[in-house]
Structure 1
Amino acid sequence: MIIDCHCHAGKGDGLTQPADTSAPLGRYLARAREANIDRTIIFAAFSDGYRLANREVARIVAGNPDRLFGFAFVHPVVDKGRVEMMIREAVVSLGLVGIKVHRHDGRITREICEAARRYRLPVLYDVMGEVSVAEILAHEYPDVPFIIPHLGSFADDWKAQSALIDHLVRHRNIFTDTAGVRRFDILEEAVKRAGARKILFGSDGPWLHPGVEIAKIEALGLNPEDRAAVLGGNVLRLVSRVQGFSAVA
């Protein structure tokens, strides 16, 4: 099974760029099908109201349950004091299977990590190059899987990406995804040093083409077992911890 672990969906509130305005799935789903992607994890675009945005994500998933899973987006600042309530609703009522946090909104908090621990959820945390936080998260919450997307930096910061590889090697609960990683040699190094079990395929759809992003995985020349792990097995293992999760297509 091929699973794209990183795709946005729905409307945003910012109206300053695509990431905070609109993430329509129509063309993405067609492209994903052409690329033989079986399932996709979606989460909201940037929003001032993630509780409602998460409900919209759940509605989108419910409309296409054979192809989509959902993660709950939370804002470290705006949602302070109500994260546990939001995550409880997301898991119990909405059927979402992970948490998304972005440094653009604020730095990750204990409140978020405690909720992830309580509901056995993976956390996709975009650190925007601040990869040193992986050291703290790995020690403070060793039982929570943290996925640091873009190999640590969507901004093509090779220093941050290289530094994240060290965390992937040393910490069993730190993972990364391949979405938008442009320096192929660094991605290749990450697989070589940290192993295929620490790398998840992601596209950062709908704005990046999933077929283009999956081509990077094929170019790695992995053996069949490692290829299967990167393309879906790894993320499936992380979300399968969530109570009530089903991967039946």
Structure 2
Amino acid sequence: MTIVDAHCHVGKGDTLTGPWDVGRLDHYLRRADAAGITQTVLFSVFHGDYLTANRAVAKVVASRPERFIGFAFVHPARDAGRVAELVHEAVYQLGFRGLKVHRHDAALTPEIARAADRFGLPVLYDPMGQVAPLELFATEFPRVAFIVPHLGSFADDWAAQRAVIDLLVRLPNVYADTSGVRRFDLLVEAVRRAGPEKLIFGSDGPWLHPGLELAKIKALGLSRRDEQAVLGGTLLELLSPLGAGQPAAVGARAR
């Protein structure tokens, strides 16, 4: 079975304010290999210059292209006005397959969504609990797949996570990754209401143990087909071919 971890950081940030500024892969890879994870999406840690950081990530991806998939980190405020230029390089020179945005930097912007639409890339956006604007983005950009990590809140904001489940049910281009979701019954509810094809396995490595995060998916007791959707099938469907620059096939499996 193909198992793709959709959420892993690599590299070193330039502030060193906490462990989230250092993404080392040595421990992660040992744990991921032991768990049977076959591919991993990599993107930078927080950084003051994502152009530089993305290029560093690309070197790691290029070292094992069969194992790693690169996503470009974009800063909504600092990169404003040059997002399309950055994404063009990310796709055509670095071979990246998606975008990562975090509200810790700044909130998602239409400029980023337009670039994702133009180049046919999914957007992994962490709203840090501020979920409501996602409905506007998903409606305004129906060809863009928006993947919400942690069901919307790494901080266990129950209201935000339930709101994301509602979006999964109603909007065909909104998905959620499972990393760091500690209230297991929310994953059960997401599968029941939105379908397993709207959940995407992620670990938030290297800080969270990929084997432990994977065990939550196994504990859902899904059929082999549904489990494969969560463990990589849906994500791989959302990824554009390298350099294709065509809109992603969004919602192909949505119920």
Q: Above 0.5 in TM-score? A: yes
Matching residue's letter, 1:158: W
Matching residue's letter, 2:97: V
Give structure 1 stretches of 5+ with no counterpart: none
TM-score, normalised via structure 2 length? 0.94
Matching residue's letter, 2:4: I
Matching residue's letter, 1:161: Q
Preserved CA contact (<8 Å) 1:121 1:241: no
Matching residue's letter, 2:16: L
Q: Distance between the aligned counterparts of 1:74 and 1:243, measured in 2?
A: 18
Q: Distance between the aligned counterparts of 1:152 and 1:194, measured in 2?
A: 15
Runs of 4+ in 1 over 6 A off after TM superposition: none
Q: Distance between the aligned counterparts of 1:76 and 1:135, measured in 2?
A: 18
1:71 aligned counterpart, secondary structure = strand
Preserved CA contact (<8 Å) 1:169 1:193: yes
1:131 aligned counterpart, secondary structure = coil
Which residue does 1:228 correspond to in 2?
Answer: 228
Q: Distance between the aligned counterparts of 1:75 and 1:193, measured in 2?
A: 33
Q: Distance between the aligned counterparts of 1:87 and 1:4, measured in 2?
A: 22
Q: Deviations over 1:52-74 (max 9, x none)?
A: 10000100001111210110000
Which residue does 1:51 correspond to in 2?
Answer: 51
Which residue does 2:134 correspond to in 1?
Answer: 134
User: Taking structure 1 as reference, are residues 241 and 169 closer, same or farther at Cα in structure 2, changes over 3 Å only?
Assistant: farther
User: Taking structure 1 as reference, are residues 117 and 242 closer, same or farther at Cα in structure 2, changes over 3 Å only?
Assistant: farther
Matching residue's letter, 2:6: C
| Identity %, equivalent residues | 57
C-alpha deviation, 1:243, in angstroms: 3.5
- Let me know the Cα RMSD of the aligned residues: 1.1
C-alpha deviation, 1:22, in angstroms: 0.9
Which residue does 1:22 correspond to in 2?
Answer: 22
Asked if 1:12 is matched to 2:13, the reply is yes
C-alpha deviation, 1:163, in angstroms: 1.0
Preserved CA contact (<8 Å) 2:153 2:160: yes
Q: Distance between the aligned counterparts of 1:101 and 1:191, measured in 2?
A: 25
Which residue does 1:149 correspond to in 2?
Answer: 149
Q: Deviations over 1:1-41 (max 9, x none)?
A: 1000000000111211111x210011101110000000000
Aligned ranges 1:18-97 → 2 under 5 Å: 18-19=19-20, 21-97=21-97
Q: Distance between the aligned counterparts of 1:87 and 1:123, measured in 2?
A: 12
C-alpha deviation, 1:46, in angstroms: 0.1
2:42 aligned counterpart, secondary structure = strand
C-alpha deviation, 1:240, in angstroms: 3.6
Aligned ranges 1:180-191 → 2 under 5 Å: 180-191=180-191
Q: Distance between the aligned counterparts of 2:176 and 2:217, measured in 1?
A: 13
Give structure 2 stretches of 5+ with no counterpart: 246-255
Q: Distance between the aligned counterparts of 1:72 and 1:54, measured in 2?
A: 6
C-alpha deviation, 1:241, in angstroms: 5.2
Which residue does 1:207 correspond to in 2?
Answer: 207
Q: Distance between the aligned counterparts of 1:5 and 1:198, measured in 2?
A: 13
2:6 aligned counterpart, secondary structure = strand
C-alpha deviation, 1:212, in angstroms: 0.2
C-alpha deviation, 1:244, in angstroms: 5.2
Q: Distance between the aligned counterparts of 1:172 and 1:14, measured in 2?
A: 38
Preserved CA contact (<8 Å) 1:120 1:241: no
Matching residue's letter, 2:12: K
